[in-house]
Structure 1
Amino acid sequence: MAPKVLKLEDLPIPEPGPGEVRLRVKALGLNRAEVMFRQGQYLYAPELPSQLGYEASGTVEAVGPDVDATWLGKTVSTVPSFRLTDYGVYGEVAIVPTFALAEYPVNLSYEQGTSIWMQYITAYGALIHFGKLNSNDFVLITAASSSVGLAAIEIANAGGAISIATTRTSAKKAELLAAGADYVIATDEEDLVARVNQITAGKGARIVFDPIAGKGLEALAAATAVSGIIFEYGALATDPTPYPLFPALSKHLTIKAYTLFEIVPYPALLAKAKQYIYEHLAAGDFNPRIDKSFPLEQIVEAHRYMETNAQIGKIVVTV
């Protein structure tokens, strides 16, 4: 499917329906999923004309007929828990379902408040909920300069694990080390498998957290420990993804396709994830990193910037 045009339009102020609120948007957090959705490369196709956007922060200014009025005036952000064909938050206001609302710590800015849920729930679901992270686990985190990658580094550190971050070149090495990575591998310049074996004394990484897929999965399988697990949570690669059958058989690997939608639709799981994130935000273990901020009228430029892969952390749009 060909890429679609991203543009702003003036529309009438919408009214919330049952189970919905209207959010006065203050900041938007951009995500790779939104770029892929616009390009027709996401898990489902847009129904044009389409809204766009998973994450926003702001204040609730109107509620639907059956919605608890105590939401009015509250500062909230949106949890990515809806289909982009149903809701989207890009704009000065957004209609969002109440199940997607979450308050966040008052010490965070609007820009930080919109930079919490996608990154931390995604990393939490893989590393904590499914991966059962243990202290001293080796965790291999690819594309580590993304907001989700940085969140995974923070979660590994909070759990006493050892994080091995990857990036394509040495340009981001120093910043990833400063962000808390224990080791950084520049995959265009170093042998990934050899470096992981060196770091882990030949054991390999018990958990691999990868949004790239493609042919690189073969090297990741070679770098994974016996009985380890590889989480594939994205599809950034443009080449096909081969299944590494012999490494998987010989090392009893689990290769799991994963998205945060294995967590967010289930109230009990989502509540547990939120509590974990709140506790670590309060403890100072988690600090959402803003790479660059754009005004709303430059949202096209913000998307173009995301496509360069130059960012380290979250790209935010202010309203």
Structure 2
Amino acid sequence: MVPNQQTQVQITHFSKLPQLDGVEVIKGDVPSPGEGEVLCQIFLRPINPTDVHAVQGLRPIGPHHTPHIAGGEGVAKVVKLGKGVQNLEEGQRVVGVPWTGLYGTWQQYRVMPAESLMPVSDKLSDKVAAQLWVNPMTAKGLVETSKPPEGEYMIQTAAGSTLGRMITSIAKHLGIKIIDVVRRTAQKEELEKLGAAAVIATDKENLIERVKEITGGNGAYAAIDAVGGETTKQVAMALQDGGTVYVYGALSGDPIQVDTLDTLYKYKKVEGWLLGTWLGGLKDFKATIQEVCGYLEDEVIVPDSGDSFPLEKVHEAILETEKTGRKGKVFLEG
């Protein structure tokens, strides 16, 4: 039986870490589905970097207003069908592709257009299904965007993250030679086992020199960077003439740096990359998401899952996801 009230995580105002004084757990009404809509019970949600950015008001897309309900991803169960819905059944597990507005999953119940929901294969666990959208689709998009010609190399930074490991796994599956960049030597072995052509640990190795060694002095064809700041500059200088760095994150919190002469005379580019923009340019969205689902079902990519926290402990969960060296994605459950 569907209750009248539900637990929600509301952003009352944008706030900084670790205070998070703008993140509140509240009670709200459970909505009813209209024609063509579905009432979903969302029961598990990963905390992605974009969610943490949204809490702080740093996200360039999604809600810029307050208050609003947080969360951009999760897995749900269909509990009630609106009039005219025929492609879904009560009790099915579903995910939003994407969730409307790219927010609103940090609550227990939500109405969604039926056309925006996709049934989840029984082959996928709840924790894998909850992560089906953001990281796997981003990994697919970044590899496709920066894919080098046969025999050439690509670079990725922050390779030890959940998303970074997915990128390495897809690159291996597609026969792409990828150079993974991490901060700590202790991370190298795991990524080598995943299939990286080489791993550079910047605590003991010079990024530019090592890339030149690995590529026989040619430099890499392209790079994807989640860090920004000085790292973007170093990665760009490790590329061959005409190479492009696709920046999709800002983990350092520092403005992007470039070497002016290296960029000018060697025709190098630094471009921002967003999942939504890439998705908007797809010719066959359905085929792409089916391919990504196949990667998950066949365990080509295996999301790394960590601890779960109840919605009521959202502050603890957000701080946990920001810890250096954390293993696996943090979830909100219930």
TM-score, normalization by structure 2: 0.84
Is 1:32 aligned to 2:32, yes or no?
Answer: no
Is 1:7 aligned to 2:24, yes or no?
Answer: yes
Which residue does 2:117 correspond to in 1? 101
Is 1:156 aligned to 2:174, yes or no?
Answer: no
Which residue does 2:126 correspond to in 1? 110
Matches within 5 A, 1:108-147: 108-128=124-144, 130-147=145-162
Separation in 1 of the partners of 2:283 and 2:86? Answer: 21
Contact kept? 1:134, 1:159, Cα under 8 Å: no
Matches within 5 A, 1:1-319: 2-3=15-16, 4=20, 5-17=22-34, 20-44=37-61, 46-65=64-83, 67-68=85-86, 70-80=88-98, 82-84=100-102, 87-128=103-144, 130-265=145-280, 268-319=283-334
Secondary structure, aligned partner of 1:35: helix
Separation in 1 of the partners of 2:118 and 2:138? Answer: 16
The Cα shift of 1:121 comes to 1.0
Same amino acid, percent of matched pairs? 28
Separation in 2 of the partners of 1:111 and 1:28? Answer: 8
Deviations 1:8-41 (A, max 9, x none): 2222212234554222122111100010110122
Deviations 1:230-284 (A, max 9, x none): 1111222322223444323333333221111023346744223212213323443
Secondary structure, aligned partner of 1:70: coil
Secondary structure, aligned partner of 1:150: helix
Aligned residues: 316
Separation in 2 of the partners of 1:161 and 1:192? Answer: 20
Secondary structure, aligned partner of 1:62: strand
Pair 1:266–1:198, CA change in 2 (3 A)? closer
Range 267-276 or range 214-223, more displaced: 267-276
Contact kept? 2:95, 2:117, Cα under 8 Å: yes
Separation in 2 of the partners of 1:228 and 1:100? Answer: 37
Matched residue type, 1:220? V
The Cα shift of 1:69 comes to 5.6
Which residues of structure 1 form unaligned runs of 5+? none
The Cα shift of 1:163 comes to 2.0
Pair 1:20–1:223, CA change in 2 (3 A)? farther
Range 263-272 or range 144-153, more displaced: 263-272
Range 99-108 or range 265-274, more displaced: 265-274
TM-score, normalization by structure 1: 0.88
The Cα shift of 1:110 comes to 0.7
The Cα shift of 1:285 comes to 1.5
Deviations 1:27-85 (A, max 9, x none): 1111000101101221156321111111111211123445446353321122346434x
The Cα shift of 1:119 comes to 0.9
Contact kept? 1:197, 1:204, Cα under 8 Å: yes
Separation in 2 of the partners of 1:42 and 1:312? Answer: 24
CA RMSD of aligned residues (A): 2.5
Q: Which of the pair has more CA radius of gyration? A: 2
Which residues of structure 2 form unaligned runs of 5+? 1-13
